[in-house]
Structure 1
Amino acid sequence: MSALGHHLLVEFTGCEAAVLADLDRVTAAMLEAARVSGATIVTHSFHHFSPHGVSGAVIIAESHLAIHTWPEYGFAAVDFFSCGGVDMNRGLACLKAAFDAQAETRLELERGPLRTVSP
């Protein structure tokens, strides 16, 4: 039996504030994370808040990768959902390095009704 999708909720702490406040750097890091995970990028949208912080999402054929940053706290919340064929660990390692995060915590959820997997 297998779930329809896997959802990772990740908190990066101790991040470089200047990176988390930079719209272009956050956007580039998220797109690169999607690429290295093997996801198929459909579109993306990011927004810089005043005085600081970035929110955005990369829509992938396999679902989505979203973020909200709090540079003043060195904190980023990332939401990565996939219905398969994506190496989420690779993508998240890319983000951790890009943000120079000192630590991360993860919550993993299986989403959707369980289905029988053919051998």
Structure 2
Amino acid sequence: MQGLHLTADLSGCRRGSPALVDVSALRALCLGAVLDAGLQPVGECFHPFPSEDGEPRGVTGVLLLAESHLAVHTWPELDAVTLDVYACHRHADNSARAEVVIARLIEAFAPARAERHALRRGAAT
């Protein structure tokens, strides 16, 4: 199976972004990015992490895709986010779609710094 696996570690993200702390906002952002890129969500899990005083602490969100997955983890107390997008190429090369997803998420979080990595997975057939 071939695919493109993209990751990004974002720091200095725009403070106050609802997607850093709100499950609904992060879910809407992720679904929008995936659907706009032409990928197909088939399942999801979004989980908030409240602090001891009940204030939002961060969110982890995962979208299962027909093409593979998107995972996002937020740390609002650090103004940080990690992104993980994997799109396999079973029926078509989905590399451009994966790039659209990660670019849209990076733009939305507006980080001061973004460390990106790309890994081409699987052997050519």
**Structure-1 residue corresponding to 2:54:** none
State which drifts further: 77-86 or 96-105. 96-105
Aligned partners of 2:38 and 2:10: how far apart in 1?
Answer: 22
**Structure-2 residue corresponding to 1:17:** 15
Please list the CA deviations of residues 38-80 of structure 1 after superposition, one character each: whole Å capped at 9, or x if unmatched: 1111111100001201001011100000011101111100110
Aligned partners of 2:124 and 2:106: how far apart in 1?
Answer: 32
Asked whether the 8 Å contact 1:32–1:94 carries over to 2, the reply is no
TM-score, structure 1 as length reference: 0.85
2:66 maps to which of 50, 61, 65 = 61
Aligned residues: 113
Query: Which structure 1 residue ranges, 4+ long, deviate > 4 Å from structure 2?
Result: none
Long gaps (5+) in structure 1: none
Aligned partners of 2:47 and 2:116: how far apart in 1?
Answer: 24
Long gaps (5+) in structure 2: 52-56
Would you say 1:43 and 2:70 are equivalent positions? no
Aligned partners of 1:75 and 1:16: how far apart in 2?
Answer: 9
